[in-house]
Structure 1
Amino acid sequence: MIEIKHISKSFNDRKILDNVSGVFKKGQTSLVIGASGTGKSVLLKCMLDLVRPEHGATLYDGRDFYIGEEEEKKTIRREMGVLFQGGALFDSQTVHQNVQFPLDMLTEMPESEKRDRVEFCLQRVGLEGTGNRMPSEISGGMKKRVGIARAIVMNPKYLFCDEPNSGLDPLTSIKIDELIKEITEEYSTTTVIITHDMNSVLSIGDYIMFLYKGKKVWEGNSQTILDTNVPELEEFVFSNKALMKMRGEKR
């Protein structure tokens, strides 16, 4: 479980996050949504301690990430897996080398065990037999799958996904959503997804936090989001014509 408490962050006297709190539970896909510029990515960076908030705390199963001992912080970092927007693969390395990178950096695992772990993760995301290919030789959807394999190679407790469907066609996006959901449930990870994709929200949103101008103005799940009476959220959700039609049918 990850708990964020009263997170506030400003840049150049402009408040980006304003007293944001929430709980992301183990085994659930938790989504942070909102329009561009609402603070989603900054919140993710605060949770990863890439950016330090002026106020607030982030607790990983009760461990305060900001004020804990350095060794405890290192332990928490080793328990994280991150899928970066765009995949963020190393172009000069093979698929296998990209997935193995965290093992090389953070473990003293024997090479044979690393190889087995990488092959297992590639098989888990449906990319068995692709280890010798270069990122330039695979599709955008496959790159995201490689990114997921790299994110789970350390068997993380906490999985973070930054806009996992960015740049993908609708069918591939659905497959990526399903894969993230399956991995979350299979390994009981605490998964936090930053997204503005309403298809993801409706299909895998076990818990949803909506940010507007840096504030949390709503939280719920995929079953309750279509019945919201929050004007800012309604505008965000029903800006999609298909959802407008669904809304009319529902009422």
Structure 2
Amino acid sequence: MIEIENIKKAFKDKVVLKGISTVFQKGKTNLIIGGSGTGKSVLLKTMIGLIRPDTGRVLYDGRDFYEGDAEVKQAIRREMGVLFQGGALFDSQTVEQNVRFPLDMLTNQSMEEKKERVAFCLKRVGLEGTGQRMPSEISGGMKKRVGIARAIVMNPKYLFCDEPNSGLDPLTSVKIDALIKEITEEFDITTVIITHDMNSVMEIGQHISFLYQGDKLWTGENTEIVNTDVPELQEFLFSNKLLRDLKP
């Protein structure tokens, strides 16, 4: 479980986060949604340590990420897996090398142990036998799967996904959503996903936080979202044809 308490962040005179508090639940897909410029990416970056918040706390199973000592921070970082928006694969490395990278950087495992773990993760995301291929030789959807394999190779307790369906066709997006949800439940991970994809909201939105102009205006499940009485969320949702069709 991840708890964030009163997270505020400003860049010079521009206030981006105005005091966000919420809980991201273990074993569930926790979505952060909202329009462009609402603070979603900044919030994610404060959670993984890329941007320090001006005020507030980020708690990982009760451990304060920013107030903890170096040992606590390092332990939490080792428990994180991150799927970046563009995949962020190294073009000059094979699929296997890309997935193995966190193990090379953060563990003392033998090469045999690392190869075994990489093979397991590639098989889990449906890419068995692709380890020696280069990123240029695989599709966009496969690159996202490689990114997921790399994100879980350290057996993380916390998985962060930044727009996992960006640039993918609808069918591939559905498959990536299903894979993330399966992995979340199978390994009991606390998964946090930033998304604009309303199909993702309706299919895997087990716990959703809606941000608007730096504030959190609504929290709930996808079964509740179409009945929201929050005007800003209604406008965000029903500008999308899928949700207009579902509106009672």
Smaller-chain TM-score range?
over 0.9
CA deviation after TM superposition for structure 1 residue 25, in Å: 1.0
**1:58 equivalent in structure 2:** 58
CA distance in structure 1 between the aligned counterparts of 2:242 and 2:34, rounded to whole angstroms: 18
| Mapping for residues 79-90 of structure 1, pairs under 5 Å | 79-90=79-90
**1:35 equivalent in structure 2:** 35
> Contact between 2:79 and 2:154, CA under 8 Å: does it hold in 1?
yes
Q: In the alignment, residue 91 of structure 1 is paired with which amino acid?
A: D
| Mapping for residues 95-110 of structure 1, pairs under 5 Å | 95-110=95-110
CA distance in structure 2 between the aligned counterparts of 1:26 and 1:245, rounded to whole angstroms: 31
CA distance in structure 2 between the aligned counterparts of 1:132 and 1:147, rounded to whole angstroms: 15
**2:159 equivalent in structure 1:** 159
CA distance in structure 2 between the aligned counterparts of 1:69 and 1:25, rounded to whole angstroms: 25
CA distance in structure 2 between the aligned counterparts of 1:161 and 1:67, rounded to whole angstroms: 24
In the alignment of these two chains, the number of paired residues is: 248
CA distance in structure 1 between the aligned counterparts of 2:147 and 2:31, rounded to whole angstroms: 19
Cα deviations across residues 129-177 of structure 1 (Å, max 9, x unaligned)? Answer: 1000000000000000000000000000000000000000000000000
Identity of aligned residues (%): 71
Q: In the alignment, residue 214 of structure 2 is paired with which amino acid?
A: G
**2:112 equivalent in structure 1:** 112
CA distance in structure 1 between the aligned counterparts of 2:242 and 2:128, rounded to whole angstroms: 36
CA distance in structure 1 between the aligned counterparts of 2:242 and 2:151, rounded to whole angstroms: 33
Q: Secondary structure at the match of 1:224?
A: helix
CA deviation after TM superposition for structure 1 residue 245, in Å: 2.1
**1:132 equivalent in structure 2:** 132
**2:187 equivalent in structure 1:** 187
TM-score by length of 2: 0.99
Q: Secondary structure at the match of 1:37?
A: coil
**1:150 equivalent in structure 2:** 150
CA distance in structure 2 between the aligned counterparts of 1:240 and 1:217, rounded to whole angstroms: 19
CA distance in structure 1 between the aligned counterparts of 2:219 and 2:246, rounded to whole angstroms: 21
CA distance in structure 1 between the aligned counterparts of 2:211 and 2:13, rounded to whole angstroms: 19
CA distance in structure 1 between the aligned counterparts of 2:245 and 2:59, rounded to whole angstroms: 40
CA deviation after TM superposition for structure 1 residue 109, in Å: 0.4
Unaligned runs of 5+ in 2: none
Cα deviations across residues 32-51 of structure 1 (Å, max 9, x unaligned)? Answer: 00001000000000001110
TM-score by length of 1: 0.98
CA distance in structure 1 between the aligned counterparts of 2:121 and 2:245, rounded to whole angstroms: 40
Q: In the alignment, residue 128 of structure 1 is paired with which amino acid?
A: E
CA distance in structure 1 between the aligned counterparts of 2:137 and 2:84, rounded to whole angstroms: 19
Cα deviations across residues 51-90 of structure 1 (Å, max 9, x unaligned)? Answer: 0111100000000000101011000000000000010000
Q: Secondary structure at the match of 1:165?
A: coil
Unaligned runs of 5+ in 1: none
CA distance in structure 2 between the aligned counterparts of 1:177 and 1:242, rounded to whole angstroms: 17
> Contact between 2:8 and 2:16, CA under 8 Å: does it hold in 1?
yes
Q: In the alignment, residue 159 of structure 2 is paired with which amino acid?
A: L
CA distance in structure 1 between the aligned counterparts of 2:26 and 2:226, rounded to whole angstroms: 24
**2:15 equivalent in structure 1:** 15
Q: Secondary structure at the match of 1:208?
A: strand
**1:47 equivalent in structure 2:** 47
**1:237 equivalent in structure 2:** 237
CA distance in structure 2 between the aligned counterparts of 1:29 and 1:241, rounded to whole angstroms: 23
CA deviation after TM superposition for structure 1 residue 210, in Å: 0.1
**1:73 equivalent in structure 2:** 73
CA RMSD in angstroms comes to: 0.5
Runs of 4+ in structure 1 off by over 4 angstroms are none
Q: Secondary structure at the match of 2:6?
A: strand
Cα deviations across residues 85-104 of structure 1 (Å, max 9, x unaligned)? Answer: 01000000000000000000
Q: In the alignment, residue 188 of structure 1 is paired with which amino acid?
A: D
Cα deviations across residues 198-233 of structure 1 (Å, max 9, x unaligned)? Answer: 100011011000000000000001000000011100
